[in-house]
A and B are shown apart, each in its own frame.
Chain A
Amino acid sequence: AQSVTQLDSHVSVSEGTPVLLRCNYSSSYSPSLFWYVQHPNKGLQLLLKYTSAATLVKGINGFEAEFKKSETSFHLTKPSAHMSDAAEYFCVVSGLAGDMRFGAGTRLTVKP
C-alpha cells in the first residue's frame, strides 16, 4: 500500500521569498507522484507530476519538485512566492491500479 505524509499543515512566507512544501511518501514499488493546488472555492488543479522519468520535475507557475528515492521525498519548491500562490497544496501518490492517496494538505499563506 502507498501513502503520503505532508510534514507541515501550514506554511507562511513573505512575498518574494522561497517556498518549500514538504512531502514524504511510502510505496512498495516505484510510484507516480503528484502535487495539486486548490484555491478557495475552486477545484483541484494539477501542478506537476513525476512518473519515473527525470527526477526534477517542473510544473506550472514556476513550481518544481524533486523526487529523491533515498529519502522517499517529493518536496515542492518555488524560488519566489507570489500573492496568488496562497492556496492549499496536496501531495498525492498513485498506485498501480491508478488509485490515488492524498496527503492532508499544506495551507500556504503569502504575506505582503
Chain B
Amino acid sequence: EADIYQTPRYLVIGTGKKITLECSQTMGHDKMYWYQQDPGMELHLIHYSYGVNSTEKGDLSSESTVSRIRTEHFPLTLESARPSHTSQYLCASSEFNEQYFGPGTRLTVT
C-alpha cells in the first residue's frame, strides 16, 4: 500500500479565497506530480517536481502554484479561488516509472 496523503479530502470555499492543498508522501520518492481531473474526464498534469527546489508546469495551464522545500511535501496553492477551479486534484509520487496516487481533494468554489 502506497503512503501518500492528501488533505483536505473535500473543500468548499468562496470565490477570492486563498487555498492550499496538501500532499505528503513517506516513501522518499523524488518525483511528485499534481493532476487535475474533472468528473468523468481524463487526468491532466498541471505541475511536477523532480526533487527539492525543482518545480515545472505540466501540460494543462493552471493558475495554481507549487513548492517543493522538502522531499516528502508538495503543496499546491491557489492565491484567489474562482468557480472555474472547481475540480478534483490528485497528487502522485513515482519511482521507476510507476506512480502512486493519493485519494484526491475535491474542490468546489462557490
Contact = CB atoms under 8 A, between A and B. Distances in A.
Contact of B99 (A41, A88, A100, A107): A100
A103 B48 CA distance: 19
A36 B92 CA distance: 13
Nearest to B102: A43
- A36, A41, A107 — which one has the most chain B CB atoms within 10 A of its CB? A41
Interface residues of B, number: 20
Contacts of A77: none
Interface stretch (A22-30, A44-52, A61-69): A44-52
Contacts of B90: 43-44
Interface string B83-94: 000000010101
Contact of B97 (A41, A45, A98, A104): A98
A104 B41 contact: yes
A73 to B, nearest CB: 19
Q: Is the interface of B mostly helix, strand, loop or mixed?
A: strand
B34 interface: no
B103 interface: yes
Q: Is the interface of A mostly helix, strand, loop or mixed?
A: strand
Interface of A: 32, 34, 36, 41-46, 49, 51, 88, 90, 94, 98-100, 102-105, 107
15 contacts: A32-B97, A36-B101, A43-B90, A43-B101, A44-B90, A44-B92, A44-B101, A45-B101, A49-B98, A51-B97, A90-B42, A99-B48, A102-B35, A104-B42, A107-B40
Given A99-B48, A107-B40, 10 more contacts: A36-B101, A43-B90, A43-B103, A44-B43, A44-B92, A45-B101, A90-B43, A102-B43, A103-B42, A105-B41
